[in-house]
Amino acid sequence: MAKVSTSKTFDVVIVGAGIIGLSVARQFLLGSNVSIAIIDSAEPCAGATGAGQGYIWRIHKDPESEKWALALRSQRLWEMLVESVMQQGKDPLIALGWKKTGSLLVGRTSEESDMLKKRLEKLSEAGVEALLLSNNELLLKESALGLGHEGSAAFLPDDFQIDARGTATFIQQFQAEGRYEEFFNEPVTNLIRSSSGEVEAVQTSKSIISCRKAVVVAAGCWSGSLTHNLVKNCNIELDLPIKPRKGHLLVIKNFKGFVLNHGLMELGYINHQSASTDQTLATDPQDISVSMAATMDMSGNLLLGSSRQFAGFQNEIDESIVNRMWERALEFFPLLRCHSLQDLRKDCEVRVGLRPYMASGKPAIGPVSGLPKLFLACGHEGEGLSLVSQPTNPIIFSIYSFMGSFITSLGTTLGTAEMIGDMVLEIH
Ligand SMILES: Cc1cc2nc3c(=O)[nH]c(=O)nc-3n(C[C@H](O)[C@H](O)[C@H](O)COP(=O)(O)OP(=O)(O)OC[C@H]3O[C@@H](n4cnc5c(N)ncnc54)[C@H](O)[C@@H]3O)c2cc1C
């Protein structure tokens, strides 16, 4: 066992350097004078964030859901970040991989066209103007699509995409004047509590890192097992029902076959995203689904997604899933038939990520009852990029704004965003 070094002390200790942990860190550094330690068992983007396709979209979200307000606010905060990057004289395409591609949600049958129309009506009632495009109109925008004469799409011109890895790197470039330290390749193994029960430090494989104000667990799909281990000697029941939901993303480097001008997704993706794990409904224990999502990144790589399956914590590439994703893409892009996946695989990266899935469809965010100073920020499943925003002041509010409605399995009613930010910052 590695030797445990002496303790270092910070105001806030964040466990997990995915998009959620990094964003929380950044916000604390920008919005207050607290000191921050961020700890990861590997490196930033080792988790789901590294596989994210980067869609910051509203078109596939439901205006009647509780997450809608958060999605809108996140979208706005991303835009503010982009504006601030531009004000610094930087190109957001290079800094963040940001592209205002617009979003195209495509259907191939008249039934799907009807569903798209209903979606547009709801969006319009919510004040978001999106258009229904016929197959011919769609072809003018994306000539590589082959949906057939019944094809149509809902189009939201203002939706955009970012590069998840590039953005995480950008967020990491903190100018924090000694208030920030990273502890990577250093898994958190234990919580250390004072005699009064307050969390006062975390133990990692190499060191003890003490906190004055808060420990924030932002460890994605590992947050459930981690918190379970953390509290096992505390006489506290903490059953955080997060499951890993594996996803593959195919990155075809420097693709020359055709150009995509927009982000695309098939309508069926929405059903797959919200699919229940109810075993009475699911015949396949892994509940595998594959749906087409395609876009091009700033380097001209073709990004083809995506899959969803419950396969435990293993994150090896599954070639049968890659084949299914490819076959699915062929149904939408006939020109891909000129290429063989086998050939493309030579210059193709497959990214695998474990989405932090909560059956409730809502992330677990807030303080943990009975464990003063411990907070959760996890469970964003396939929306972690679009439900968290970047280094602008209200970010902490953004990620915590579910707290008003989310009741944890602990029976704890969580407070508001403002309350949590205040709570953390007011602990002396
Ligand atoms: C294929 C795919 C496509 C996606 N596309 C999109 C998209 O287009 N738009 C969108 O909004 N979302 C998308 N998502 C979802 C999004 O990527 C996730 O919701 C988001 O990345 C979750 O971020 P996180 O920080 O909570 O978790 P993670 O990124 O998983 O970060 C958790 C971190 O915790 C660390 N950790 C774990 N255990 C410990 C420990 N004991 N000690 C210390 N550190 C620990 C891990 O190493 C990891 O770095 C996609 C996901 C996948 C898989």
Q: What type of residue is 386?
A: S
Q: Could you tell me how far CA 229 lies from the centroid of its own chain?
A: 24
Cα–Cα distance, 39 to 41 (Å, whole number): 7
Cα–Cα distance, 268 to 249 (Å, whole number): 17
The correct answer on CATH 2.40.30.10 for the domain covering 99-160+243-358 is no
The count of other CB atoms within 10 Å of the CB of residue 345 is 15
The answer to whether 10 and 37 are in contact (CB under 8 A) is yes
Long-range contacts of residues 359-363, Cβ cutoff 8 Å, at least 24 apart: 359/241, 359/243, 359/276, 359/277, 360/406, 361/65, 361/67, 361/274, 362/66, 362/67, 362/402, 362/405, 362/406, 363/387, 363/402, 363/406
Looking from the CA of residue 245, the nearest atom of ligand 1 is 53
Dist. CA 221 → ligand 1 center (Å): 7
Nearest to 203 by CA among 218, 215, 221: 215
Dist. CA 131 → ligand 1 center (Å): 32
Q: Could you tell me how far CA 383 lies from the centroid of its own chain?
A: 4
Confidence check: pLDDT of 423 > 60: no
pLDDT (tens digit per residue) in 57-90: 999 999 998 778 777 877 877 888 899 899 999 9
Residues of the chain with CATH 3.30.9.10: 99-160+243-358
Query: In this predicted structure, what is the pLDDT of residue 405?
Result: 29
Three-state secondary-structure class, residue 239? coil
Q: What is the mean pLDDT of the chain?
A: 84
What's the average model confidence in pLDDT over 238-245? 88
Q: Is 100 exposed, middle or buried (0-12, 13-18, 19+ CB in 10 A)?
A: middle
pLDDT (tens digit per residue) in 245-291: 999 999 999 999 999 999 999 998 887 666 544 444 445 677 899 99
Query: In this predicted structure, what is the pLDDT of residue 326?
Result: 97
Cβ contacts of 327 within 8 Å, gap of 6 or more: none
- Residue of 203, 240, 383, 400 to test ligand 1 pocket, by largest number of atoms within 8 Å of CB: 383
**Among the listed ranges 1-5, 34-38, 116-120, 304-308, which one has the minimum average pLDDT value?**
1-5
Residues of the chain with CATH 3.50.50.60: 5-53+165-241+360-426
Dist. CA 147 → ligand 1 center (Å): 32
Dist. CA 248 → ligand 1 center (Å): 13
Query: Which amino acids bring their CB within 6 angstroms of ligand 1?
Result: 15-21, 39-42, 46-49, 51-55, 187-188, 218-220, 222, 226, 247, 249, 305-306, 353, 355-356, 378, 380-386
Q: Determine which residue's CA is closest to atom 30 belonging to ligand 1.
A: 47
Dist. CA 245 → ligand 1 center (Å): 10
Looking from the CA of residue 187, the nearest atom of ligand 1 is 42
Dist. CA 307 → ligand 1 center (Å): 15
Cα–Cα distance, 397 to 403 (Å, whole number): 10
Dist. CA 186 → ligand 1 center (Å): 17
CATH number of 5-53+165-241+360-426: 3.50.50.60
pLDDT (tens digit per residue) in 303-326: 999 999 999 999 999 999 999 999
Looking from the CA of residue 219, the nearest atom of ligand 1 is 34
Cα–Cα distance, 108 to 152 (Å, whole number): 7
Looking from the CA of residue 377, the nearest atom of ligand 1 is 26
